[in-house]
C-alpha cells in the first residue's frame, strides 16, 4: 500500500478548523474534521463529543476538547465492542492509538489541560459562560488559535487512523 494521502490529512485540518471557526465546540469540530476527511457519518459519536468542549463543560479544568474528539474518533474505529466487554485485551488497540495521539499532543503543546492551553495561547483562561468573557476571548484571538489547534489535532488523529489502517492491511496481506 502507498503512502498516507496528504490530501486526506489536509482535509481533516481544514474541515476541523472551519467547523470550529463557524460553530465552535472543539471536541465536536475535531470529530467532524476527522469524519469528513475519512468519509464517516455517525451522529451518535458527534453528539457524544458535545460535553467535552473547553475542557469538559466549558470549565477549562479537563483536557483539551480537541484531544477528546480525536480520542473519540480513534475509539469509534478501534475500540472494544460491548460483546467483548469482558475481554480486557480488546481495548488495547484503541488505548495504544489514543496514547499515541496524547503523546503527540503533549509534544506539540506541552500540556493537555484546556485552561493551560488557553493561557499559553491568549494569556489567560476565559469563563465562556459569561458573555463579557466570551467577547474578551474572541478579542484575544482565542477562536483563531483554538480552531488551528482543532485542525492540527484532527490531522494528527486522522494520520494515526490511516497509519493503523495501513498496518492492518499489510498484516492481512502477509497472512
Higher pLDDT, 3 or 75: 75
| 129 part of a folded domain | yes
**Prediction pTM value:** 0.95
| 170 part of a folded domain | no
User: Does pLDDT of 115 surpass 90?
Assistant: yes
- Using CA atoms, how far apart are residues 46 and 15, in angstroms rounded to an integer? 14
pLDDT digits (tens, 9 = 90+) for 47-69: 999 999 999 999 999 999 999 99
DSSP string, 69-135: HHHHHHHHHHSPPGGGTT-GGGGHHHHHHHHHHHHHHHHHHS--BHHHHHHHHHSS---TTSHHHHH
| 31 part of a folded domain | yes
- What is the domain extent for residue 68? 6-162
What's the pLDDT band for 120 if we cut at 50, 70, 90?
A: very high
What's the pLDDT band for 175 if we cut at 50, 70, 90?
A: confident
| 87 part of a folded domain | yes
| 174 part of a folded domain | no
User: Does pLDDT of 2 surpass 70?
Assistant: no
Three-state DSSP state, 156: helix
| 21 part of a folded domain | yes
User: Does pLDDT of 1 surpass 80?
Assistant: no
User: Does pLDDT of 137 surpass 70?
Assistant: yes
Q: Give the count of domains, the chain.
A: 1
User: Does pLDDT of 76 surpass 60?
Assistant: yes
Report the pLDDT averaged over residues 123-151: 96
Amino acid at each position: 500500500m502507498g503512502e498516507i494521502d496528504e490530501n486526506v490529512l489536509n482535509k481533516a485540518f481544514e474541515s476541523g478548523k472551519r467547523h470550529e471557526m463557524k460553530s465552535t465546540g472543539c471536541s465536536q469540530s475535531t470529530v467532524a474534521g476527522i469524519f469528513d476527511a475519512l468519509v464517516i457519518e455517525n451522529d451518535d459519536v458527534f453528539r457524544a463529543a458535545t460535553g467535552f468542549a473547553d475542557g469538559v463543560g466549558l470549565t477549562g479544568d479537563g483536557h483539551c476538547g480537541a484531544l477528546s474528539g480525536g480520542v473519540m474518533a480513534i475509539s469509534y474505529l478501534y475500540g472494544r465492542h460491548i460483546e467483548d466487554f469482558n475481554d480486557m485485551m480488546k481495548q488495547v488497540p484503541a488505548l495504544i492509538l489514543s496514547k499515541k495521539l496524547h503523546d503527540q499532543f503533549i509534544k506539540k503543546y506541552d500540556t493537555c489541560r484546556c485552561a493551560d492551553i488557553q493561557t499559553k495561547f491568549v494569556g489567560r483562561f476565559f469563563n465562556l459562560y459569561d458573555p463579557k468573557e466570551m467577547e474578551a476571548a474572541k478579542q484575544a484571538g482565542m477562536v483563531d488559535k483554538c480552531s488551528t489547534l482543532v485542525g492540527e489535532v484532527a490531522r494528527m488523529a486522522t494520520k494515526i487512523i490511516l497509519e493503523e489502517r495501513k498496518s492492518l492491511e499489510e498484516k492481512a496481506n502477509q497472512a
